[in-house]
Chain A
Amino acid sequence: MSETAGLIIVFIGLIFDFFGCFGLVRFPDVFNRVQAATKCVTIGTCFILLGVVVYLGFGAIGIKSLIAMVFIVITTPTAAHAISRAAYLSGVELADQTVVDQYAEDLDDIREKR
């Protein structure tokens, strides 16, 4: 019973991961792509690890995958922030569909401070 449930949860995680990659290919610029990559891949991987917990139970491996979930949730947004900020400051252009960019208005101030 728990094996079937675990496999179903792993499968849900794979679906999220798949659509994350799909978004990564289809979205127009770095920022939108990072959005797709962080959100879907974070939760997809969390679902896969949760599936492992359900499949194997709270043993040595189950606890390890729970800890891995916590670290993924902490580190992925941090990495996404670093990538998007580095991309913006090194001059990557926003997509044509972009409607507003309030970061550009303050950019000189921010550069001066650092």
Chain B
Amino acid sequence: MRKLIVFFFSYIIWSLLAWPFDPATGEVFWLNIFVGLFAAGFVALLFDELFFERHSKVVNPLSYFWFLIYLPVFSYYCLLANIDVMYRAIHPSLPIKPGIVKIRTSLESNSGITALANSITLTPGTLTVDVDMENKLLYVHWINVQSTDIDEATEMIAGRFERILRRIFE
């Protein structure tokens, strides 16, 4: 099952990159398609363990629905982050107050924590420095520290993403 899903996704990415038809003439490049099938099968056989642990979430349509909700939320905060960092970079007195704070996460799976850490890095003034998988702690560099309390910082930095990510990955 897992090999099948990896095969499916690799083949889709292959065909999007290789584009095996010519829209002007309607010609289809069969060699391209067969090489793609071969390559995707190869990847699926060898590397299927690297991508995800359980397949129940990958075939669940509800997690795709929540992913579609997550995209605009994430894009909005990402844009906000950029304008914030831009403002700090061009302001003459460089208004920064940096520090490294600890936050707690309630996510369990590897992919969930990866997505959370990456989202934190791309959003307002925060950058994940390290993850402690055992104690479920994230060390976050914050360009404008507003709170050093672990619960308050968790709510401010991760709260908005965690609620949606839990539905996608857990």
User: Taking beta carbons and an 8 Å cutoff, which residues of A are in contact with B?
Assistant: 16, 19-20, 22-23, 26-29, 31-32, 34-36, 38-40, 42-43, 59-60, 63-64, 67, 73-74, 76-78, 80-81, 84-85, 88, 94-95, 97-104, 106, 110, 113
Q: List 15 A-B contacts (CB under 8 A).
A: A19-B85, A20-B89, A32-B143, A36-B85, A40-B86, A42-B78, A73-B122, A81-B117, A95-B98, A99-B145, A100-B100, A102-B99, A102-B148, A106-B137, A110-B130
CB-based contact B129/A81 at 8 Å:
yes
CB-based contact A99/B97 at 8 Å:
yes
Contacts of A36 in B (CB 8 A): 85, 89
CB-based contact B99/A23 at 8 Å:
no
Which residue of A is nearest B148, CB measured?
Answer: A100
CB-based contact A23/B89 at 8 Å:
yes
A77 touching B122 in the complex, CB below 8 Å, given contacts A19-B86, A31-B141, A43-B79 = yes
Q: Number of B interface residues, CB 8 Å?
A: 41
A101 touching B79 in the complex, CB below 8 Å, given contacts A39-B85, A64-B17 = no
Out of B96, B97, B118, B130, which one reaches A85, CB within 8 Å? B130
CB-based contact A26/B94 at 8 Å:
yes
CB-based contact B128/A77 at 8 Å:
yes
CB distance from A99 to the nearest CB of B (A): 5
Out of A16, A59, A104, which one reaches B23, CB within 8 Å? A59
Question: 1/0 contact trace for B127-147 toward A, CB 8 Å?
Answer: 111101010010101010100
Which residue of B is nearest A22, CB measured?
Answer: B89
Contacts of A39 in B (CB 8 A): 78, 81-82, 85, 122
A43 touching B148 in the complex, CB below 8 Å, given contacts A35-B143, A38-B122, A98-B99 = no
Label chain B's interface by main secondary structure: mixed
Bound-state Cα–Cα, A84 to B79, Å: 22
Contacts of B122 in A (CB 8 A): 38-39, 42, 73, 76-77
- Name the residue among A22, A94, A99 with the largest chain B CB count within 10 angstroms: A99
Out of A26, A31, A38, A40, which one reaches B98, CB within 8 Å? A31
CB-based contact B130/A101 at 8 Å:
no
**B59, CB-defined interface residue at 8 Å:** no
